[in-house]
Amino acid sequence: MTRGQEPIEKLIELLARLPGLGPRSARRAALHLVRKRDLLLAPLAEAMAEVARSVRPCLECGNLSTAERCAICADPRRDAAQICVVQDVADLWAMERSSAYRGRYHVLGGLLNALDGTGPEELGLPRLAERVREGVSEVILALPATIDGQTTAHYVADILPEGVQATSLAQGVPVGGELDFLDDGTIGAALRARRSL
Amino acid sequence: MTRGQEPIEKLIELLARLPGLGPRSARRAALHLVRKRDLLLAPLAEAMAEVARSVRPCLECGNLSTAERCAICADPRRDAAQICVVQDVADLWAMERSSAYRGRYHVLGGLLNALDGTGPEELGLPRLAERVREGVSEVILALPATIDGQTTAHYVADILPEGVQATSLAQGVPVGGELDFLDDGTIGAALRARRSL
Ligand SMILES: [Zn+2]
Ligand SMILES: [Zn+2]
């Protein structure tokens, strides 16, 4: 637009790249931020800088954390014999909101897909296979009911050693449904009714 | 949620306060930001800090600017004999996108409203009256067709000195329509067909 407005133009351009915000809602958001400079804009700038600085994937499970091992991996009260495999961190958060699960996680960060070149290595599956050998008795595959999701679930089930049970969320998960869209009770019910693969 | 996630929890909580983002889209946005740490998260944190630091209302017209006088007020090619009165900066941006207007602005930052205590002082109307005395020949009232908008328009028209024409956008502006929702051509047509109050 005009010279003196460059920083706010830049802010709008970046806000418009967030999922769910278009150019118009990015302009509205930028004006809202300027109006709430002390209550929202400055704290949000600081929160973003802090996340950029300190939040990293947990070396063990892929959850986001400020520590090398996330709070779930570091919590001795979480059952180390169960690992729940999820597509991404949003799904881990959805599982946690259901309060139905007391084990640990493996966050894939994607699904097996030959076309886009996502293989077992990209999803940390060798690392998962290693973790499973350390006293894990059950791997819960909480993956989408899509072709890629089910391909990935069966791949993981196949690499598990003898004696480790592979289960999947069953009752209540709609076909093609993503965990993050479900209410917490549905997730809890699906977890309790999980079945062997 | 859990300890090691505090910075991202804080980020989600703040993002959810943006207009157009709820808790769920705030979580999606936060994960998107972490995934695009270098391309989006860090630049956005910096852009927000820069806006918080440097962007202020123009002392003359109320537009947002990094300078005391905004680029429009400082531009000698803009017609100083015309002032367009708008409710907020989003409306100024909408006028600018239409490229139909080459005068200057007065940004009210609100509308007259006895109930919420918004009076002429809050809207900078004494300052506008002063500016008008310095060689302004026309004041274009580009205000919403709501009761508060029209009350404000008539108040401004009444305080203008003899010989200063008050006009309003006419053709093409839908009743109750906000400028920022209109396409650029509609704004241009309404501006060209403006009528005397
Ligand atoms: Zn972890
Ligand atoms: Zn100005």
* End-to-end alpha carbon distance in chain B: 58
Instruction: Give the pLDDT score at B187.
Output: 73
- Cα separation, A190 vs B10, whole angstroms: 30
Q: Do A48 and B44 touch (CB under 8 A)?
A: yes
> What share of chain A in percent tops pLDDT 70?
89
B8 and A70 in contact by Cβ < 8 A?
Answer: no
Per-residue model confidence (pLDDT) at position B176: 59
> To the nearest 10°, the Cα dihedral for B150, B106, B137, B143?
-20
Q: How far is CA B175 from CA A28, B146, B169, in A?
A: 21, 8, 12
Q: Which of B2, B15, B89 sits opposite A71 (nearest CB)?
A: B2
Q: What is the pLDDT of residues B18-74, one digit of tens each?
A: 998 999 999 999 999 999 999 999 999 999 999 999 999 999 999 999 999 999 999
- The nearest alpha carbon in chain B to A2 belongs to B71
Residue A38 and residue B56 in contact, taking contact as beta carbons nearer than 8 Å: no
Q: Averaged over B104-116, what is the pLDDT?
A: 95
Q: Contacts of residue A64 in chain B, CB cutoff 8 Å?
A: 5, 8, 34
CA distance B32 to B18: 16
Q: Is residue A148 part of a domain?
A: yes
Separation CA A192–CA A188 (nearest Å): 6
Q: Is the ipTM of this complex over 0.90?
A: no
CA of A69: which chain B residue's CA is closest? B4
Count how many domains chain B has: 1
Mean pLDDT of B138-161: 92
Q: d(Cα A158, Cα A102) in Å, to the nearest integer?
A: 24
What is the span of the domain harbouring residue B155? Answer: 80-168
| Structural domain includes residue A33 | no
SS3 B107: strand
Whether residue A8 is contained in a domain is answered as no
CA of A122 to the centre of ligand 1 (A): 17
Q: Tell me if A48 and B52 make a contact (CB, 8 A cut-off).
A: no
Could B8 and A96 be called an inter-chain contact, meaning their C-beta atoms sit closer than 8 Å? no
* CA–centroid distance, residue A90 to ligand 1 (Å): 14
What is the full per-residue pLDDT of chain A (197 aa) written as tens digits? 444 458 999 999 999 999 989 999 999 999 999 999 999 999 999 999 999 999 999 999 999 999 999 999 999 999 999 999 999 999 999 889 888 899 999 999 999 998 999 999 999 999 999 999 989 999 999 998 789 999 999 999 999 999 999 998 765 556 556 777 777 777 777 777 776 66
Q: Are B123 and B152 in contact (CB under 8 A)?
A: yes
Which residue among B48, B63, B180 places its CB closest to the CB of A44? Answer: B48
Provide the mean pLDDT of chain B. 89
Instruction: Determine, yes or no, domain membership for A124.
Output: yes
pLDDT in tens, A152-170: 999 999 999 999 999 987 6
Q: Comparing C-alpha atoms, which of B110, B89, B82, B111 is closest to residue B169?
A: B82
Question: Which residue, among B6, B10, B27, B48, would best test binding to A if mutated, counting the most A CBs under 10 Å from its CB?
Answer: B48
Q: CB burial class (10 A; 0-12, 13-18, 19+) of residue B42? A: middle
Q: Evaluate whether residue A55 is within a structural domain.
A: no
Residue A140 domain flag: yes
Distance from C-alpha of A143 to C-alpha of A179, rounded to nearest angstrom? 8
CATH of the domain at A112: 3.40.1360.10
Residue A138 in domain: yes
| Of A154-163, B142-151, B186-195, highest mean pLDDT | A154-163
Does residue B138 form part of some domain?
Answer: yes
